Homo-oligomer: A and B are copies of this chain.
Amino acid sequence: MNDAPSPSDAQLEILDLLWRESPLSVRDLHAAVDRKRSVSYTTVLTQLQRMTEAGLVERDTASRSHLYRPAVPRDAVEKGLFGKLAETAFGGSRVTLALRALGNETPTADELDELRRWVDDQA
Protein backbone atom coordinates (compact mmCIF):
# COMPACT_ATOMS: atom_id res chain seq x y z
CA MET A 1 0.00 0.00 0.00
CA ASN A 2 2.16 2.81 -1.24
CA ASP A 3 0.67 6.11 -0.21
CA ALA A 4 0.10 8.87 -2.66
CA PRO A 5 3.11 11.07 -3.40
CA SER A 6 2.69 14.63 -2.20
CA PRO A 7 2.32 17.30 -4.85
CA SER A 8 3.94 20.68 -4.47
CA ASP A 9 1.77 23.79 -4.46
CA ALA A 10 2.01 24.33 -8.19
CA GLN A 11 1.26 20.68 -8.76
CA LEU A 12 -1.70 20.71 -6.45
CA GLU A 13 -3.11 23.58 -8.42
CA ILE A 14 -2.92 21.49 -11.57
CA LEU A 15 -4.30 18.40 -9.90
CA ASP A 16 -7.25 20.42 -8.69
CA LEU A 17 -8.10 21.23 -12.29
CA LEU A 18 -7.71 17.63 -13.39
CA TRP A 19 -9.85 16.32 -10.56
CA ARG A 20 -12.61 18.59 -11.75
CA GLU A 21 -12.30 17.63 -15.40
CA SER A 22 -10.08 15.29 -17.30
CA PRO A 23 -8.43 14.47 -19.51
CA LEU A 24 -7.00 17.84 -20.37
CA SER A 25 -4.18 18.92 -22.62
CA VAL A 26 -1.27 21.11 -21.60
CA ARG A 27 -2.90 23.89 -23.52
CA ASP A 28 -6.12 23.52 -21.58
CA LEU A 29 -4.30 23.49 -18.29
CA HIS A 30 -2.09 26.38 -19.15
CA ALA A 31 -5.10 28.43 -20.16
CA ALA A 32 -6.79 27.70 -16.85
CA VAL A 33 -3.77 28.42 -14.69
CA ASP A 34 -2.74 31.46 -16.68
CA ARG A 35 -6.15 32.99 -16.10
CA LYS A 36 -5.41 33.14 -12.39
CA ARG A 37 -1.74 34.06 -12.46
CA SER A 38 0.37 34.78 -15.49
CA VAL A 39 2.63 31.85 -16.14
CA SER A 40 4.39 30.52 -19.19
CA TYR A 41 3.22 27.54 -21.19
CA THR A 42 6.42 25.60 -20.67
CA THR A 43 6.21 26.09 -16.95
CA VAL A 44 2.96 24.19 -16.85
CA LEU A 45 4.41 21.63 -19.23
CA THR A 46 7.40 21.05 -16.99
CA GLN A 47 5.20 20.53 -13.98
CA LEU A 48 3.13 18.00 -15.89
CA GLN A 49 6.29 16.17 -16.87
CA ARG A 50 7.49 16.09 -13.29
CA MET A 51 4.08 14.96 -12.15
CA THR A 52 4.07 12.15 -14.67
CA GLU A 53 7.46 11.06 -13.42
CA ALA A 54 6.21 11.22 -9.84
CA GLY A 55 3.14 9.18 -10.63
CA LEU A 56 0.74 11.98 -9.83
CA VAL A 57 -0.80 12.03 -13.30
CA GLU A 58 -1.05 9.70 -16.23
CA ARG A 59 -0.84 10.77 -19.80
CA ASP A 60 -2.16 9.53 -23.06
CA THR A 61 0.46 10.10 -25.72
CA ALA A 62 -1.59 8.69 -28.56
CA SER A 63 -2.28 11.95 -30.27
CA ARG A 64 0.27 14.66 -30.72
CA SER A 65 -0.92 16.80 -27.86
CA HIS A 66 -0.81 14.59 -24.84
CA LEU A 67 -3.79 14.25 -22.58
CA TYR A 68 -3.46 14.20 -18.83
CA ARG A 69 -5.59 12.73 -16.10
CA PRO A 70 -5.06 12.31 -12.35
CA ALA A 71 -3.28 9.15 -11.23
CA VAL A 72 -4.10 9.65 -7.56
CA PRO A 73 -7.48 10.06 -5.90
CA ARG A 74 -8.26 13.42 -4.42
CA ASP A 75 -9.13 11.97 -1.04
CA ALA A 76 -5.78 10.26 -0.68
CA VAL A 77 -3.81 13.37 -1.50
CA GLU A 78 -5.85 15.50 0.83
CA LYS A 79 -5.45 12.95 3.54
CA GLY A 80 -1.70 13.32 3.27
CA LEU A 81 -1.85 17.06 2.96
CA PHE A 82 -4.11 17.73 5.89
CA GLY A 83 -2.59 14.97 7.96
CA LYS A 84 0.85 16.46 7.70
CA LEU A 85 -0.37 19.97 8.31
CA ALA A 86 -2.40 18.89 11.33
CA GLU A 87 0.62 17.07 12.66
CA THR A 88 2.79 20.11 12.20
CA ALA A 89 0.66 22.76 13.78
CA PHE A 90 -2.73 21.62 14.97
CA GLY A 91 -2.08 19.00 17.58
CA GLY A 92 -2.56 16.23 15.07
CA SER A 93 -6.27 16.93 14.69
CA ARG A 94 -7.72 17.57 11.28
CA VAL A 95 -10.88 18.78 12.95
CA THR A 96 -8.94 21.42 14.84
CA LEU A 97 -7.30 22.34 11.56
CA ALA A 98 -10.70 22.72 9.95
CA LEU A 99 -11.90 24.93 12.77
CA ARG A 100 -8.89 27.19 12.38
CA ALA A 101 -9.48 27.29 8.64
CA LEU A 102 -13.02 28.44 9.25
CA GLY A 103 -11.74 31.23 11.44
CA ASN A 104 -14.09 34.13 11.07
CA GLU A 105 -15.05 33.41 7.50
CA THR A 106 -18.60 33.89 6.38
CA PRO A 107 -19.92 30.85 4.58
CA THR A 108 -22.34 30.90 1.71
CA ALA A 109 -25.74 29.36 2.30
CA ASP A 110 -24.65 26.21 0.51
CA GLU A 111 -21.48 25.90 2.47
CA LEU A 112 -23.33 26.40 5.69
CA ASP A 113 -25.73 23.66 4.70
CA GLU A 114 -22.88 21.31 3.99
CA LEU A 115 -21.26 22.08 7.28
CA ARG A 116 -24.49 21.61 9.15
CA ARG A 117 -25.04 18.31 7.42
CA TRP A 118 -21.56 17.17 8.33
CA VAL A 119 -22.10 18.05 11.96
CA ASP A 120 -25.49 16.36 12.05
CA ASP A 121 -24.05 13.22 10.51
CA GLN A 122 -21.79 12.82 13.51
CA ALA A 123 -24.73 12.14 15.77
Is the beta-carbon distance between B103 and A75 smaller than 8 angstroms?
Answer: yes
Given A94-B101, A103-B94, A119 contacting B111 (CB threshold 8 A): no
Does A13 contact B122, Cβ atoms closer than 8 Å?
A: no
- Report the copy number of this chain in the oligomer: 2
Q: How many residues does chain A have at the interface if contact means C-beta atoms less than 8 Å apart?
A: 39
Produce 1/0 per residue, A101-116, CB < 8 A to B.
1110111100110111
Is the C-beta of A89 less than 8 angstroms from some C-beta in chain B?
yes
Q: How far in angstroms is the closest Cβ of chain B from A97?
A: 5
| A interface residues (Cβ-Cβ under 8 A, vs B) | 9, 12-13, 15-16, 36, 75, 78-79, 82, 84, 86-90, 93-103, 105-108, 111-112, 114-116, 118-119, 122
